[in-house]
């Protein structure tokens, strides 16, 4: 049994009838409904191609795998509302877990595989996950951790070779009936832990409706390319990677999956499979374009690239392919896509709000700011997430006055394009290579080093990652520490993508009138990259 202590979520678990015995299921639509429908409409069409094994799975075969896995999980005791954790590389097995969870009304706890073992276990246990799936390389570091058994009753590997754990295929050995009509549209499909704004990650619950509305938005934007093959590069534990893969599937298209990114292989696949859509964070697109130039590959099929990129890289992509780069603004809590427009419509902007998002800019008192002024980006509509798992106070703050408060700042121009203006001071965020890193978590980790007295962490511009992590440290008296020693220390404690790219040591850090370190003064004085 799980507890949310939040009316925003719990109303689903009350009586679901609409007078005269009409079930609310009449109006529900879930990912499993899509799977079932597509198995009939596109039964023999390819749905998933695994580049590592060169194996292709049809929509009909995918449903068969989903049903078998759902039956196996149900025999383990997994039912509606239970959590299934996954820490793995992208694969057909990972995508099948999403389908099986949808069939049962369970939730996937999608864990970032780049996290350190203690961080993985926090996410797994935070949601009281009953089953854990993973690649052996990610499960092995967890084996000697007593916390692994806090809630997890069953562990399976997604690898087919020998392992300390049984393979996922052992759950799919025989076909048995599974419960039907388990999930409602507003039930969570996935829980994705966001970056640690105050030192601890929070599990954002995204529903079936969130996912399918996001897919609809993408399909409308992609037009004729929505059902073309998608190059599945971004991880399925991130909202962008998952919803791009779901969009292709829901549109009847093929997901061409790469377990590990290789730019030269990606260019080959774009040519061979005629992949048309891709989501990118630096330096993915640059690496593909370099491979295209080096090998004279034909990547002209790649017409719809979405993401964050530098203007010169966008221009280079569009020149090479004749495609259109789509600018976005989004976050996990808003299903990834709040704005989405061709970049060249208003270069430098984040695009216009998607049709299913009501977006406003508010001041500190939740009042709209004047056109052209900077305010906090707030949002309403079916893309807004269900809330944070077991975070009543955080949910109350996020949904104050009936709006989702993003913590991001922006301004609208006279044509309705959104210009991103950074994070609110109390919710400062760094995005190296598309990952979200909150300074508070990195600072707390650095302060665990016995040589460090004070530290300020913030983002600085970077040509490769777009934004890099800078740490400015004041050491304790008579202490010594090198940049490499500190970076290695952080990388051993938390995910390596959170470790500083640059470290500066200073005699003293400026303080404010209360004696606290003055973050803004530090950033103003030392914010330029070395």
Say if CB 243 and CB 214 are below 8 A apart.
yes
Residue 410: strand pairing partners: 375, 420
What CA–CA distance (Å, rounded) separates 388 from 191? 9
Asked if pLDDT for residue 23 goes beyond 60, the answer is no
For the ranges 165-179, 252-266, 413-427, 448-462, the maximum mean pLDDT occurs at 252-266
What CA–CA distance (Å, rounded) separates 361 from 337? 17
Residue 148: strand pairing partners: none
pLDDT at 409: 93
The phi, psi pair for 14, rounded to 5°, reads: -90, -175
pLDDT at 123: 96
Domains parsed from the chain with CATH numbers = 28-43+55-207 (3.40.50.12780), 325-427 (2.30.38.10), 432-526 (3.30.300.30)
**pTM to 2 decimal places:** 0.84
Strands 452-462 and 466-475, bridge-based pairing = antiparallel
Asked if pLDDT for residue 236 goes beyond 50, the answer is yes
% of the chain beyond a pLDDT of 70: 93
What CA–CA distance (Å, rounded) separates 57 from 75? 25
What CA–CA distance (Å, rounded) separates 446 from 442? 6
pLDDT at 245: 98
| Per-residue pLDDT tens over the stretch 103-153 | 999 999 999 999 999 999 999 999 999 999 999 999 999 998 999 989 999
């Amino acid at each position: 049994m799980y507890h949310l202590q939040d009316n925003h979520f719990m109303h689903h678990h009350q009586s679901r009838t609409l007078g005269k015995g009409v079930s609310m299921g009449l109006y529900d639509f879930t990912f499993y409904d899509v799977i079932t429908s597509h198995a009939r409409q596109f039964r023999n069409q390819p749905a998933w191609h695994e580049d590592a094994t060169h194996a292709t799975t049809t929509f009909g075969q995918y449903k068969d795998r989903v049903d078998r896995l759902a039956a196996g999980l149900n025999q383990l005791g997994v039912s509606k509302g239970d959590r299934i954790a996954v820490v793995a590389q992208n694969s057909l097995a990972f995508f099948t877990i999403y389908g099986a969870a949808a069939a049962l009304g369970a939730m996937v706890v999608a864990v970032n595989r780049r996290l350190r073992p203690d961080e993985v276990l926090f996410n797994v246990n935070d949601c009281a996950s009953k089953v854990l799936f993973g690649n052996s390389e990610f499960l092995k570091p967890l084996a000697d951790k007593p916390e692994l058994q806090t809630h997890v009753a069953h562990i399976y590997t997604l690898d087919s070779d020998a392992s300390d754990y049984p393979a996922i295929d052992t759950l799919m050995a025989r076909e048995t009936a599974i419960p039907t009509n388990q999930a409602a549209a507003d039930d969570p499909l996935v829980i994705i832990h966001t970056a640690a704004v105050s030192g601890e990650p929070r599990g954002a619950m995204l529903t079936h409706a969130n996912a399918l509305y996001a897919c609809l938005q993408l399909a409308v934007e992609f037009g004729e390319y929505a059902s073309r093959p998608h190059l599945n590069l971004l991880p399925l534990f991130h909202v962008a990677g998952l919803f791009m893969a779901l969009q292709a599937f829901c549109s009847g298209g093929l997901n061409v999956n790469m377990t590990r990114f290789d730019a030269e292989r990606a260019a080959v696949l774009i040519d061979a499979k005629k992949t048309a859509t891709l989501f990118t964070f630096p330096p993915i697109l640059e690496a593909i374009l370099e491979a295209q130039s080096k090998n004279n590959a034909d990547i002209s099929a790649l017409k719809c690239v979405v993401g964050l990129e530098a203007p010169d890289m966008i221009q280079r992509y569009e020149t090479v392919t004749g495609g259109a780069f789509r600018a976005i603004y989004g976050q996990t809590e808003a299903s990834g896509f709040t704005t989405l427009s061709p970049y060249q419509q208003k270069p430098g902007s984040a695009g216009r709000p998607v049709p299913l998002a009501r977006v406003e800019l508010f001041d500190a008192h939740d009042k709209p700011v004047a056109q052209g002024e900077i305010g906090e980006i707030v949002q309403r509509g079916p893309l807004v997430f269900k809330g944070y798992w077991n975070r009543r106070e955080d949910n109350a703050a996020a949904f104050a006055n009936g709006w989702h408060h993003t913590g991001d700042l922006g301004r609208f121009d006279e044509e309705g394009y959104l210009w991103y203006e950074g994070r609110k001071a109390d919710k400062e965020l760094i995005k190296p290579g598309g990952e979200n890193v909150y300074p508070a978590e990195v600072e707390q980790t650095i302060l665990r080093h016995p040589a460090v007295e004070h530290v300020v962490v913030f983002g600085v511009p970077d040509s490769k990652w777009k934004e890099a992590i800078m740490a400015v440290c004041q050491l304790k008296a008579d202490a010594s520490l090198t940049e490499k020693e500190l970076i290695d220390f952080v990388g051993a404690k938390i995910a390596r993508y959170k470790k500083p790219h640059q470290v500066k040591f200073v005699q003293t850090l400026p303080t404010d009138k209360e004696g606290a370190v003055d973050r803004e003064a530090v950033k103003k004085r030392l914010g330029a990259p070395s």
